[in-house]
Structure 1
């Protein structure tokens, strides 16, 4: 099984109704209704679907005890691994921490971890549904509207992060873009997914460490207006990025960071 593929994304939130309406309006997803008895269930998890019907991720509703333990609204990626226990043993020996021990459900075995510098992500060894002969549509793709189109890591140790993710997840680093005083914007590639994103030293002490998730939309300017209208916050203005794209960064109504990207020729 390929090690290190981006195969799922999860937003955690303490404002599920507002956040559901927000992403459905900004990106065009459909977020599932809560399950019966969700108020008292141990986990309140709601699946996210693109307009093409493909699953794109999930929304985890934060319970008070989760918030008390340090959870906050954010987007977190899932990286596929061959074996969750074996990968846990390897990465913890290299300084990573386990935030949630391995759990097995119908969809597979997963665990939540943080890299040695505090960036959270999940490991997952997925179990295909009975009768599934072909892989599901990708949740990461450079050219699929409503899918993730870029993964960006802020870290306090760029050389260390490069080595850690290369050693354990097969990442390669084809090139970098100098960012002046901020250092290099180090592009990341995976042998089976191509260029998947970038990592850099966090630009300021108050910039949260972690993976930052960017979604492709049809028109970034229209989506930015929807962010304003639906209770989110824009961080800066729409701007050009290398290639044929425009991008803007934002936060949802609960405060989870994300980015939006579209082609210049459309926007």
Structure 2
């Protein structure tokens, strides 16, 4: 996880600016900051190509290392829930086998690293369908090892698809309703957004207040379609491995300045 190119702006002025941003956020107070931040890390493959690597694996390893840093930044500011979009369900069919195999090993290692870090609690959100047994086992081990964590809650979105999540939620609701011997009329009466939310992979968690995406791309890519209905979005030009703490602090500063309009 050590492949990383030099990122401009690491000098004295950068440090002073970063401290000023952090101080301003601290003064704004915890209530002004997002309680749940979701991150779509993008651009790992482009990062590897730009540095002349022959495979994307170097980019994915650098991206995984950056996510550990990102989690540290979040924890230091008291953010309670973080979701990392690491592997979409679509990736399982759109990536070359060699790249996908390497990426899955990297994700498994990341999950185990995160679960052994401080008092963080790890949860796999997504489907295990199509994932190799080694990765499924690593995700389950990470969940088990961190189950008593009382600190930051970290969702690892692996094999994740927003449409599939909503479909699975509806299937779960219908199955429970059928098992209880209740009628379709009863289901129609009791079906609410709140009930659907309870059956999502993230059931019981707050929806993300802020969704960040790296690499300059401005799309959701089937990520948290239900949960992000009222989220704020922030797009960073930096490729995933090049994300700086100051970029994250700017995103948070931008969030604190927005007037959130729910449906307006």
Q: When the two structures are superposed, what TM-score results if normalisation uses the length of structure 2?
A: 0.31
Q: When the two structures are superposed, what TM-score results if normalisation uses the length of structure 1?
A: 0.31
State the structure with bigger RCO (CA 8 A, min sep 6), 1 or 2.
Answer: 2
